[in-house]
Each structure stands twice: as structure tokens, then as C-alpha cells.
Chain A
Amino acid sequence: MTNPAASPATSHRRYFFEKFGLTERLLERCLGEALSAGGDFADLYFESVTATSLGVDEQIVKSASQGTSAGCGIRVLSGERTGYAYTDNLSPERLLHAARTAALIASGPARQPVQGFVETPAANLYPVPLGGFDLDLAARLELILRADRAARAFDPRVVQVRAGYSEELRRILIAASDGAFASDTQPLCRLNVFVIAKDGEVSTKGSAGGGGRAGLEQFSGSKSPEHLAHEAARGAILQLGAVPAPAGEMEVVLGPGWPGILLHEAVGHGLEADFNRKKTSAFAGLIGQPVASPKVTVVDNGTMAGRRGSLNVDDEGSATQETVLIEGGVLKGYLSDKLSARLMGMPNTGSGRRESYQAIPMPRMTNTYMLAGDDEPEDIVRSVKRGLYAVNFGGGQVDITNGKFVFSASEAYLIEDGKITAPVRDATLIGNGPEALKYVSMVGHDLKLDEGIGTCGKNGQSVPVGVGMPTIKLDKMTVGGTGR
């Protein structure tokens, strides 16, 4: 071990060594067992997670729950093949058994792992006090009780309010046959408010949330319980008077922040290296080609302090980084993990992530956003004759093979003669990934990141992510409403 004794990593590591009785010798034995039938590479991923959630519903603290899980996933790579086994029992016998199971993917003479580990130098993007979050549940309850009060006070038409707080502390330790060694303690919390509004026979819903890899002090300003509650209530009230969304191709202006989910779906997934290595992505072979208007630069950045999508190290123990995906409209690079980097002869961008010790890592996004441009947001709206102004969204989805993607607007307005007019009902927007961003004609100077609510799913694995965007104008996009 080569890291200085005082680094924060020491305490992450010590947790596993002390609590589960791991030793460097045991890690080496497991890696040796994992490569006992050959193979190019093996790694061990230890994970220990504690999660807490609290809920206020009808002004009553109705729910409180806590869960804890720990386990280890052992992976062996042999060419393009991956052998995987996991166990929630961290005894030496079980770990060695899992290593032997994963080893079955290879068939050849045993290989020796590199002797001695070298700790990955890593940032400290989310310093947490030793031992993780203090468990001051009263302070957490106060957040949701404040949110509940603020949402109820917003408007008499607010008839139901639910506020929830969830927090997890994930500890990981990774040791690999190439000598890579990393450990990290990853806090993550989130505050959510759900509102039902009713006026006569019409009922609507609204929701808002925020969070990140930081302590309770983050819940102020735009993430304060009051602000989130007002946003949820405002969204529900607004929908009470919404008109049907238009149907068809039109000019679309997307507001700053969370609408950056456009980038996540339209280009992000299609640029994950595994899909491109297998040539199953609509973006395969397009590096160096224009895939967006020259005004568009998109990056994926895992190194932003305190953000939901950020990580000191990825789930393969590689340091995260800022990766330029699209620069001036030209496709620059893919997001890669160790396997795809090796097979494609490309740099590893530190994008190997997994949902838990039960899952195999894959290239994933972290915080994905478009850089700011020069346009005034007001000018962007003013330039639209007839179109849609969408400022908040539900989820999205993409078919990475044909490039078609959708994302669903939950707060949007008509633009008529350069003015924002009536709010519209929920509508899905649809486009084609390698084409959609070519129609970006204006980019605002108001880059904003989302409040920390994103969860991305891929092959059944969910991981926390962030998105961001300035106000932009797309000259055409299809809006899936029912109106004219």
C-alpha cells in the first residue's frame, strides 16, 4: 500500500478491514483464485450500504425505514468474456468460492495477479465526517415537515401533500489483479415533495425534489424545503388550467437545468462505449463527424463537488474525469470502462459504474451537460412564432440502435408570437439522437444543473446521475399532444 496514512481513503479502507476482517493477503488470495483458470483480469468489489428514509403524509410522520446490505462481486475478464459471482457472506471461504465460480469463464493455465496494490489517487468531492452522516433524525424530519407545511400553505386547492427524505451511505472497496486499489465513502441524499391539487372535478399532480452528495446544509436556496414545496404545488396548480398540448413538428424551447435530460437520452446513452464497441449504437463510427449544430458542446463530468452524479472513483476504482462528448457539434469521444477501453484501444474515461455488488459494471454517465452559449434566454423565446416552451420533465428513454428518444414534459407552455402563453398538459417529445441536436439554433448563457433528482436505468441497473443545460431552441422537434 502506497498511500499516505492520513488520506481519507485510509478510513474507507479501514472500515472494510475492521468490520469484515478483510486483509490484503485475503484480497490477493481471492484474486489468485479468480485467475486460477487463466483470464486477463480480475477484480473484487466490496460494497456496504446503509439507507434511511422518512416520510410525512397527511401531516403525519407515517413512515421510517432503514436498510443495510453488504456483499462482494468478483469479476474475471477473459477476452470479451466476463465471469461474475457475488456473495452477501464475506467469510474467506465464501469469497474464495465466489472467486472460483467467476474463474470458470476462462480455461487455461493459472495467471498470477500483480503483487502489491497501488491506491488510485482520488479527489475528495464529498467530504463526509468520519463514520458517515450523523444520525440526527430530528433534523431530517424537520426538513420534510417544513416542506409539508409550505406546500399546504401555497394554495387552498392543494389537497394532498407527501414529503419524503432518503439518504444512503455507500462504502466501496475495489482491488484488482493489475494492482489497482481504491476505496470510497459515498453519501447521497434527496428530499422529495408530491402534491395533489383539486379544483371541482379536476385533479392534478406536481412534484419536486433535490439532493446530492452533501450534508443537510445543501437544503437551502433552490433546494430549501419551502422552495421545493412551492415548485411541486405550483406545478400541480398550473396543470389545473392546462390546455391540450399541440401535436406535430414545431419549434421547441427548452428551459435551463433538468431539461438537459434531452442530452442524456439523445446522445449520452448512444455514446457509451459498450454499444459502440458492439456497433449496436446509432452513433457507432461517427467520431469526428458532425452530430449537432456548431453551437453545441456537451461534456460528461464526474468530478463536480457534491453533485448527485459525481464520484471520486468509478466502480472499477478508476478516477472520474471530465470527458468532452461533443465539441462545436462534432462527436469527440465515448464514455468507457476498463473492458471497452482495452478492447477498443481507447482511453478509460472512468465511467465504469454498477448498481450494486450484484451487478457487472458498464460504461455509464455521471453529470452530463451542455456548455453555455451567448444568447439571451428572453431573445430565444421571443424568436419563436409558434412553438412549445418546456421547463420541466418526467422521465425519458432511448432506443440506442435506431437513435429514437423520448422525454416527457410535465411543465410546458405554448409560445405564440414570441410570448409564453397557456400551460399545456403532459406531452412526450420525440426525436432522433444523431439528428435532433443539429436543429439547435440558439444556446443561452444561463447554464444550470439540475437539483439532484436523476436516476438512470440501463440493462436493469439504476445509478444516480445529473444533467444540465442552458436555455436552448430547437428549430424542430415532434411534440406528442392531442391539440392542433
Chain B
Amino acid sequence: MPEVDQQQALETELEELAADVVAQAMKAGASDAEAVAQEGDEFSVNVRMGEVETLTESGSRALGLRVFLGKRSASTSTSDLTPGGIRQLVEGAMALARITEEDPFTGLPESDEFGALPQDLHLYFEDVYSLPGPERIEWARRAEAAALAADPRITNSNGAGFDAATGRKVLVNSRGFAGSYRTSYAGISVSPLAVDATGQMQRDAWWSSARRMADLDSPESVGQEAARRTVRRLGARRVPTQQVPLVFAPEVARSLIGAIFEAASGDAIWRGASFLAGKLGESIAASGVTIIDDNAMLLPSGVGGFGTSPFDGEGLPSRRTVVVEDGILQSYLLNTYTARKLGMKSTHNASRGLAGTPGIGCGNLYLLPGTLAPEQILGGVPAGLYVTSLMGFGTNIVTGDYSRGATGLWIDNGQLTRAVEEITIAGNLKEMLRNISAIGNDLEFRGSVASPTIRIDGMTIAGA
């Protein structure tokens, strides 16, 4: 029966397991091999209208393998960690590699490129599981209660959640790299619903997340902020089609920085599938725009950022890369494969899931803050839109065409006035980046991609 084997597998250390998989692949005839092993535990509770709605608690482990037969490669993954499962993982990968064709650019990085940052990056804190079960439920309940108490128009809720998770990731390859790290996460979120006198319903949400409990905002402050954001959407109306300055709040400005990352990613570049292809060294954004990707970054609290890790998905040490400096495109974001395609060096931005070939991922990606307070940026706009949320997938990084659903607040003489909804904002990223006319001083890392408030001119609102 399989149970016995599975129990044994659970007791084997993840690192040993990954090393063993690499050894087995080499024994089976691979010219190179790379294994990734992951394990994780999660706890999550959702409370709605004061009552527990869902409670989930679980853990899982899985293995991924990439093998090379010279310039051919293939990959496999499994959650079956028994000796039989691992045998299948190795044999499957070897069989698949034989049906692929030679790609002169494929292969592991060179041996002298590997490395992991030696210092403690403060990514793992045991205290995310320190709250007793009933207390975790209470945190979610407190956050929702604070939102419901904040305003009489908040009468309903999509619920509030408390989540905690820990994980371990191991990467081992046949060129001598072996690395592993643990991470932890805790989060609170609330999504209240407000109704106004006309019956119009609006929802919004707010959250706090951190690697350790001490860095989480209080449940009450998360609930109150969620309430503020929800109530300010009430009474939303459309505005006529027009061109006005747009001010992007940090939580939506970050998606534009994310689009620049995607456009600067090596895979899009070598294919010519990006509006930034071939633009290295050229001015692509307004002066004053500096974008950094740093996967070695510590937050001001001394804790590792949400995009921080000691090494990338191919085992190259984490580092800081200046992507755009004062408007000039300084670097693409590359893994080993895309770097070879472009005749460049990896920027240590390989991302690695369980299966498949490494992709390109950002570390902590951000727009360097400017000097203006957000109120000063708004103050400079006689009539315009303060964009607080975006909808849809209308970002085309090949052409740069950009068209998204938006909601926000109308700016009248520098002041935020009524709520706006059911409109689109459109432009082309090439021009939008050049038309960034103000950058705020309010950079805050709430996730791995962050931006201060920014103002962009020349975009079109389509509405009534």
C-alpha cells in the first residue's frame, strides 16, 4: 500500500529530496538537471457579518524537475513524493526531453554565476502562527466590525479575513548550486458594502499584509480605511467624454509600473513583442522617472520586502537593477535564456514555478518617489480625475495601447469632489510615460510592486 512510502517521504528533508532528484536525473542520463521543492502551510478565516463563514487549514508539498539532454530540455512536477512518484518524475522528464528539439540558447547558468546572498534577509517569522485559533477569528471580526461601525451607510459586507502562511523553497542543480529559504506571511482584509438613499450599492476593500505579526496594521485601522474607501464611492456618476489630467492613486499607479516591467522583460524584448524593444539607452519616460527592481531589499522596518529572496529562480544571487533612470531605459529584465537570446547577462530576474521553464519575475519593483505631497499634485489640477481603481485587461504591451475601466473622484480646483464610475481611461503607454508630469513623495510597499501618486496628462476619458 502507498501509505507507508508517503509517510517516509514526509520525514525526508526537502533539501535531500531535491538533491536526490537531481542525482537520479543525472544517473538517468541527463547532461544537467535542476530540481525545485516547495512546501507550505496556510491558515485562513473569513468572517461575514460577525459570523465565521469559512475556515481553512492545510499544508502541501511538491517537487519540480527540469532536465537537459545537451540543448534539449523538458520539465515535470508532482505532488507524489513517494519513491515511485519520484521515479516517474525523473523518467517522465527524460522521455519528454527526447521529443523536444535542440535550442542553442537553452541551459543552466554558468557555474561561476551561482550564488545566494549570505546575510539574513528576515523573510521568515514564526509569529505569524502565534495567535491562538479563536484570536485569529477575533482579528477578522474586529476588522469587519470597525468597518460596519464607521458609517451608518455601511450596512453589509463581503466579509473580512485573517490569513497566515509559511513556506519553504529549495533549489538544487547539477552545477553545484543548492539553496533554500523560508518565508512567512500574515494578512488582514476587509470588504464592506455601502448603500445610499437612492439604493446604489458600492463595495471597496482594504488590507494589511506583512511577514510578521508586529508589522500588521491593527484590525480597527484596516476596517476604518476600508469603510472610508467604500463610502467615498457612493453617489458615483459618469462624466462626459473628454481629455483631462489624471492623477493615479498609489494602488493603481503600481499597475502602470507593473506594465513597464512586463514591457522591459527579456521574453517580450527578444521577440520584438514590446513597445520597449530596442529602446535601451533611449528616453522612454519623462525626466524624473526612475524605476528600480531590487530583489535584495529590506523594508525600513528591517524586514525583507515582499519581493525579496536570497537568490532568483535559477540560483543567481539577488541584486538591485536600475530599469529606468531619469527617463532613460537603462536595463531590460532578464533570466539566463532571454539574456543569451539578446547577447546580454542575466539581471537575476528568473522566476521559477514548479513546472515549466523559468520565466521572468520582479523582485521589489518601484518608482522612485518625488518631492510633492499627493495634496500638492491634486492642488495643481483645475479639472481632472483622481483614479482609485481600474478594471479589465486592456493593456497591450506590444503596441502600448492602454484602455481600462476606471472609477475615482472628480478633481475640481485641486479638490476631490464627487465619485465617478462607469468610464474608461485610454492612451498609449509610450506617450503616457512621457506625460508623467508629477510624482508624489508617498511611496509605500504594500506589496512587491509599489508606486507613489503620479499625474499623467493627455489621456482620454470615455463616458456619457
Contact = CB atoms under 8 A, between A and B. Distances in A.
Tell whether A and B belong to one assembly: yes
Interface of A: 19-21, 53-54, 60-71, 80-94, 98, 101, 104-105, 137-138, 141, 159-160, 196, 198, 202-205, 239, 245, 247-249, 278-280, 282, 358, 360, 394-399, 401-402, 404-408, 425-428, 430-432, 478-482
Interface stretch (B23-31, B216-224, B394-402): B394-402
Contacts of B79: 68-71, 88
Contacts of A21: 1-3
A141 B391 contact: no
A478 B99 contact: no
5 contacts: A98-B58, A141-B99, A160-B272, A245-B403, A398-B391
Nearest to B58: A86
Contacts of B133: 104
Contacts of A396: 392-393
Contacts of B53: 80-82
Interface centre among B391, B461, B463 (most CB of A within 10 A): B391
Contacts of A203: 272-273, 275, 277, 398-399
A264 to B, nearest CB: 13
B464 A406 contact: no
Contact of B392 (A280, A395, A479): A395
A358 to B, nearest CB: 7
B9 to A, nearest CB: 8
Nearest to A76: B55
A432 B407 CA distance: 13
A81 B102 contact: no
Given A62-B106, A248-B241, A428-B426, 12 more contacts: A62-B103, A64-B96, A66-B75, A84-B57, A85-B56, A87-B60, A204-B399, A404-B422, A405-B391, A427-B403, A478-B462, A479-B462
Contact of A428 (B61, B77, B203, B405): B405
Contact of B403 (A53, A54, A282, A426): A426
Contacts of B103: 60, 62
Contact of A204 (B56, B233, B398): B398
Given A82-B53, A88-B62, A61 B460 contact: no
Interface stretch (B178-186, B299-307, B353-361, B375-383): B353-361
A478 B203 contact: no
Contact of A63 (B100, B102, B421, B463): B100
A80 B399 CA distance: 48
A401 B61 CA distance: 37
B54 A84 contact: yes
Contacts of A65: 74-77, 96, 355-357
A67 B77 contact: yes
Interface in B369-428: 391-394, 396, 398-399, 401, 403-405, 407, 421-428
A66 B92 contact: yes
Given A407-B392, A478-B424, A402 B201 contact: yes
A116 B459 CA distance: 65
A93 B102 CA distance: 46
* List of 4 A-B pairs having minimum Cβ-Cβ separation, nearest first: A480-B424, A406-B405, A91-B3, A406-B392
Nearest to A74: B58
B201 A430 contact: no
B437 interface: no
Given A61-B100, A358-B60, A480-B405, A278 B460 contact: no
B3 A431 contact: no
B110 interface: no
A397 B7 contact: no
B193 interface: yes
A66 B76 contact: yes
A280 B157 CA distance: 8
A394 B393 contact: yes
Q: Which among A81, A90, A104, A395 has the highest number of chain B CB atoms within 10 Å? A: A81
Contacts of A66: 74-77, 92-93, 96, 355
Residue from the set A105, A245, A248 with the largest chain B CB neighbour count within 10 Å: A248
Q: Which of A68, A278, A431 has most B Cβ within 10 Å?
A: A68
B51 A80 contact: yes
Contact of B102 (A60, A82, A86, A282): A60
A428 B55 contact: no
A105 B392 contact: no
B405 A92 contact: no
Contacts of B85: 68
A435 to B, nearest CB: 10
Most chain-A Cβ atoms within 10 A of its Cβ — which of B99, B103, B201, B461? Answer: B201
Contacts of B241: 247-249
Given A69-B78, A402-B203, A92 B399 contact: no
Interface in B34-59: 48, 51-59
Contact of A395 (B7, B393, B426): B393
B462 A84 contact: no
Contacts of A426: 394, 396, 399, 401, 403
Given A98-B58, A397-B391, A64 B398 contact: no
B97 interface: yes
Contacts of B149: none
A480 B96 contact: no
Contacts of B116: none
A62 B101 contact: yes
B435 interface: no
Contacts of A20: 2
Contacts of B100: 61-64
A280 B203 contact: yes
Contact of B462 (A71, A93, A405, A480): A480
B111 to A, nearest CB: 24
B398 A196 contact: yes
Contact of A427 (B88, B203, B394): B394
B80 interface: yes
A184 to B, nearest CB: 20
A195 to B, nearest CB: 10
B54 A64 contact: no
B92 A91 contact: no
A360 B56 contact: yes
Chain A CB count within 10 A is highest, among B2, B103, B357, B392, for: B392
B130 interface: no
Nearest to A478: B462
Given A159-B272, A205-B398, A406-B392, A480 B7 contact: no
Nearest to A249: B464
Nearest to B240: A248
Interface string B230-251: 0001001010010000000000
Contacts of A141: 99
B218 to A, nearest CB: 25
A159 B407 CA distance: 38
A93 B356 CA distance: 33
B422 to A, nearest CB: 5
Contacts of B233: 402
A86 B43 CA distance: 11
B271 interface: yes
B52 A105 contact: yes
B398 A89 contact: no
